[in-house]
Amino acid sequence: MSLRERIRGVLGFPVTPFRQDLSLDLDALARNVDEMAGYPFCALVAAGGTGEVYSLTPREVEDVVRVTVEAAAGRMPVVAGTGFNGPLGADIARRAEKAGAEIILALPPYYSNAPFEGLIAYYQEIGAASGLPLMVYSRDWAVFTPGMVARMADRVPTLTFWKDGQGDSRKYQRIMHTVGDRLAWLGGLGDDCVPAYFAVGVQAYTSSISNIAPRLSLELAEAGMARDFARLDGLMAKYVHPLYALRERAKGYEVAVMKAAMEISGRPAGPVRPPLCNCTAKDIADLRQLLEVYEADFALKVGKTFSPAGM
């Protein structure tokens, strides 16, 4: 089976743990990845958005990818995040390939008003930097029409995967219809978009919930791929929507809430790096209450001592 065909179901999305002084905690990362790789994810994403790639140096990204590859130990491929600009993105892609990654995930460039020709040049430079297939993450200001995606598929030879982060299922369906099987289609905005993503026909999605409840991530994908929307509705209502309501309370909480949830459930994650901010005491109390719902069904062990002061 080709690498493209293997990316079906759920891509786990491990956070990047930091110590209290905001230095990398690679030992914690190795433990977390080893646990996650015990579940049948189709891949793990190292130093992606949830992995705070934009707060890392190129050397730190390389270290995170290397440790993730070592801890995964061949159980699944590792996708490595990159971005920033052409030269930095290409440098990180080369480092990631050397560290053992099998796919490069290109986040949008730092400049939010780039013309389309400039964006193509950006992805071409990153794509040409390694011999690995390229996954473009269309999020934030990296917005594309169906025609733009088709032209990018023509002009970026390594482009293999398209990861949507816009959440516009109507447009995404048109993009998929226009470009067809030239690319593999993934959902990337969040676990809360699983019903819409699988309804339009993605083959996999990236899950931050994989950090705290791997079995829930896999159940969501299983129901989505079977188009069992009655089952999906129940999972979304009980577990996903309440968590995402917490994540929406402040900018950057998509990472801070997941790190706090990991700490509450006994998994090392540490604080977030600026410009993100950690959760408030009130939000952590509400998160703990929600995780008690997860505890019975997904074998979480909700701790009783964690507080934001510990971050």
User: What are the residue ranges of helices labelled H in 129-252?
Assistant: 146-155, 169-179, 194-200, 214-225, 229-235, 241-247
- Catalytic residue of the set 137, 205, 244, 253: 137
**pLDDT tens-digit map of 166-188:** 999 999 999 999 999 999 999 99
Does any domain span residue 100? Answer: yes
* Residue 163 annotated in active site: yes
Does any domain span residue 39? Answer: yes
Residue 297, pLDDT score? 84
Does any domain span residue 233? Answer: no
Does any domain span residue 268? Answer: no
272's tokens? 């977030």
- Catalytic residue of the set 123, 163, 205, 253: 163
Query: Does the structure show a pLDDT above 50 at 309?
Result: no
| Helices and strands of the chain, counted as H and E runs | 13, 8
* Domain CATH for 11: 3.20.20.70
Does any domain span residue 290? Answer: no
pLDDT confidence tier of residue 307, bands split at 50, 70 and 90:
low
Does any domain span residue 98? Answer: yes
Map residue 78 onto helix, strand or coil: strand
* Residue 98 annotated in active site: no
CB 41 within 8 A of CB 10: yes
Angle at 143 between CA 252 and CA 166, to 5 degrees: 50
Does any domain span residue 232? Answer: no
Query: Does the structure show a pLDDT above 60 at 104?
Result: yes
Residue 310, pLDDT score? 46
**C-alpha–C-alpha distance, residues 100 and 89, integer Å:** 17
Query: By residue range, what is the domain housing residue 221?
Result: 3-226
User: Average pLDDT in the 159-170 region?
Assistant: 98
Does any domain span residue 9? Answer: yes
Pairwise pLDDT comparison (88 vs 311), residue with the higher score: 88
Domains contained in the chain, number: 1
